[in-house]
Structure 1
Amino acid sequence: MNVVSRTFSHFRFVITLASVTWLSACANLPYYAQAVDGHLEVLRRAQPISTVIENPDTDQNLKNSLTKIVQLRKFASRELKLPDNRSYTSYANLERPFVVWNVFASPELSLQLKEWCFLKVGCVNYRGFFSQAKAERYAEELRNEGYDVHVGGVRAYSTLGWFSDPVLNTFISYSEINLARLIFHELAHQVVYVPGDTVFNESFATAVEQEGIKRWFAHNGTVLQQSALNARRERETIFTDLIFKHRKHLQDLLQSDLSEAEKRAGKARIFDELRTEFADLKTNDPELSLYDSWFSQPLNNALLATVSIYSQLVPAFQAILVQSDQDMNKFFDAVTKISKLPKEERNFVLQKATEDHRRWTMVER
């Protein structure tokens, strides 16, 4: 699983009961209608995991994966203090590879992702569709307006506790580590969610996910699995550092006084350099081919900008966890308090935590 697409590509697509309540007041009725219809179809297909496991006709591999989900779900509540509710206690086969498709857009000469605002959940940096065809049509409209656009298939999404989110066929075949990451990440969104702050929400959930995996394998993993986990984290760090490095180069270019033509030429050069450096890194570590699928996509501002959504503030939350003595309840209380601060003050606190994390990391090295 890579740190950007998360392998399971579970970019957030949120639906709330408020959306249903206020449908008649929405100017974009067709969009909300497809969202509600799509989610209700997911719920309609869901059945208790226990029922699926007890069914003699259920494939044994599916039974094994669902049994692992049950174990992960209990661990999440017991050891990580994540919500103990009915989320991920049912299973739905959607008979398709993705549950929704999210559209990301960024101006040609800016890394600022376009925002869409929704009832209750605030503004987010994507627009989700339960139909790939509708997502692609909308993406084409944005391209015609001059945006850099990325369409990502989504294997899981969170309703923030409004509904009991089911396990889906779109991710049930994942490895143990990927199932753990997904379950821990999605449940974290039910603990803290700040309307209109995608980076905060996703970075927080990623930090919980990473801590959860570490504790899961400490309790249940072998020495070999621990070694594999450490190697995977090292590769994720290499990948994110590479992306952030070139994203910074691109940001400096786009904020310069150069002409638009010069910026376009420089942008193309930076993307070429990114691909070249990745190829060089992969020569030294063939396992980095894990990220080939990411590089196989057209590189543009929208794709590059999505990286920071999941990673930008993770060091800050890791520092807060350390300051909370690794106690998940204290950690959640601290993050909840920070989430209620005005955005400028919230960002200041998180920046300070990020600096603390960097200092600790340098000392450890």
Structure 2
Amino acid sequence: MIRPRSSHGLLDPLLRLLFPALMLLLLNGCASVGYYSQLASGQWQLLRARTPVAEVVADPARDPQLRAHLEQSQQARAFASEHLHLPDNQSYRLYADIGRPYVVWNVFATPEFSLQAQTHCFPIAGCVAYRGYYNQGAARGAAALLQQQGMDVAVSGVEAYSTLGWFNDPIISSMMHWGDERLATLIFHELAHQRFYVQDDTEFNESFATFVEQQGTRQWRAYRGLPPASEAQVQQRDQFTQLLLDTRQRLEHLYAQALPAEQMRERKAAQFEQLRQDYRQLRDSQWHGDKRYDAWINAPINNARLLPFGLYDQWVPAFAALFKQVGGDWPAFYDAVQTLGKRPPAERKAELRRLAQL
């Protein structure tokens, strides 16, 4: 049987993706048609925009800075498969110019007095704590509707995402403003999603990929004979993240109380103000006035803005402990992660808590 193929041999996976999505359209009614249609259209446009990195690098008509940046990225891409044992496929060996700063905009939402994300379920990725839009206006429109319902909402631009191995994901032009090392860390992170993924557990998946990104970057620097990343920068990142996680914990305790709505709002606002005060004290006393996080902390804060930090960082210490247990052996680590990921959700979370305390 002859099957149609795209220029990169990826049309069959596309059909496998769109078929269950089409079934969802038929089952879920007209309200879902527009959303799933923009998902299919956006992904198809991204696929059509791909060009092999090797062709871009070899083309003298292309911007020299772009060519040099992409050439450096391919060294990190090779390292990812050869040394981190991440998938060896065409992902991140292709390039796509999309002509906009973000590839998608994610909309996060929580109830006013809860840190429980509004989840959305998809045929491939399972249930996740956000909804993605290829158009910024559509994302803002969806956010406005949720705000009218009394939800806490945040819209976040995303430079890249993983299709979990269903497609050969490209390096996207939205990633090109990063330095060579940041681009490498993104490649490690997204390939980790292809390596292993648990449906319906965003915290597990993102923490796992974040650990692979961080540990992979340490090894990538050592491989190139570079010293470890500045301890000050790493410490600042970790301290800032901890401030946000501590705030989440205090808010969870607050929301568990039976308080009148107005009193709850006042105490919620007080928690966000305490976060700002704690940040400024940390910045001025330990960071020598470094203002790298000022823009984030001075913008309006709500439950939804705190969500990505818990999702991406919550279990990183647990995966670090697991990596140490297997002696830093990547294949053994992935086997252990896969075993852990197959356990029932409650058992999986209990084991992650245990590992995080080691």
Pairwise CA distance, 1:25: 2.2
Matched, 1:270 2:271: yes
**Contact conserved, 2:119 with 2:130, CA < 8 A, in 1?**
yes
1:3-61 superposed Cα distances (whole Å, 9 cap, x missing partner): xxxxxxxxxxxx97544002332221221111011011111111011110111111111
Conserved in 2, the CA contact under 8 Å of 1:115 and 1:124?
yes
CA contact (8 A) 1:199 1:308 kept: yes
Q: TM-score, normalised by structure 2?
A: 0.91
How far the C-alpha of 1:306 sits from its partner, in A, is: 2.2
- Aligned partner of 1:107 among 108, 111, 122: 111
CA gap 1:16/1:318 in 2 versus in 1, 3 angstroms: farther
Q: Quickly say closer, same or farther: Cα 1:215–1:96, change in 2 above 3 A.
A: same
- State the partner residue of 1:187: 191
Match in the other structure for 1:29? 33
AA in 2 matched with 1:282 = R
Contact 1:206 1:310 in 2 (8 A): yes
Consecutive unaligned residues in structure 1, runs of 5 or more:
1-14, 357-365
1:162 is aligned to 2:166: yes
- In structure 2, what is the Cα distance between the partners aligned to 1:54 and 1:305? 42
Identity of aligned residues (%): 41
User: Aligned residue for 2:317?
Assistant: 315
Give, in whole Å, the separation in 1 of the partners of 2:194 and 2:204.
Answer: 14
**How many pairs are equivalent?**
339
Distance verdict in 2 for CA 1:261–1:336, change over 3 Å: same
User: Does 2:81 align with 1:77?
Assistant: yes
CA distance in 2, matches of 1:304, 1:195: 22
Q: Deviations over 1:290-323 (max 9, x none)?
A: 2223224320011112211000011110111001
1:68 positional shift: 1.0
RMSD over aligned Cα, in angstroms? 1.5
**Larger RCO: Structure 1 or Structure 2 (Cα < 8 Å, ≥ 6 residues apart)?**
1
Matched, 1:173 2:177: yes
Indicate the residue corresponding to 2:234 in structure 1: 233
Question: 2:187 corresponds to which letter in structure 1?
Answer: I
Give the SS at the match of 2:174.
coil
Q: What is the rounded CA distance, in whole Å, between the counterparts of 2:289 and 2:97 in structure 1?
A: 32
| SS at structure 2 position matched to 1:170 | helix
Contact 2:108 2:307 in 1 (8 A): no
Whichever residue aligns with residue 328 of structure 1, its letter is: W
| Structure 2 letter corresponding to 1:55 | D
SS of 1:306 mapped into structure 2: helix
- The amino acid across from 2:299 in the alignment is Q
**CA deviations over 1:178-202 (Å, ceiling 9, x no partner):** 1121010000001110010000000
Change in CA separation of 1:188 and 1:16 when aligned onto 2, cut-off 3 Å: farther
Moved more, 25-34 or 202-211: 25-34
TM normalised by structure 1 equals 0.90
Q: Is the 8 A contact 1:113 1:125 kept in 2?
A: yes
Whether the 8 Å CA contact 2:218–2:229 is kept in 1: the answer is: no
Alignment pair present for 1:341 and 2:340: no
Partner of 2:292: 290
**Counterpart code for 1:277:** D
What letter matches 1:78 in structure 2? E
Q: Distance in 1 between matches of 2:15 and 2:219?
A: 34
| Cα distance between partner residues in 2 of 1:292 and 1:24 | 44
Between the aligned partners of 1:108 and 1:269, the Cα distance in structure 2 is 15
Contact 1:65–1:173 under 8 Å retained in 2: no
Task: Classify 1:263/1:18 alpha carbon distance in 2 versus 1 (closer, same or farther; 3 Å).
Answer: farther
Residues 105 and 132 in structure 2, CA contact (< 8 A), matched pair in contact too: yes
Shift of residue 266, structure 1, vs aligned partner:
0.3
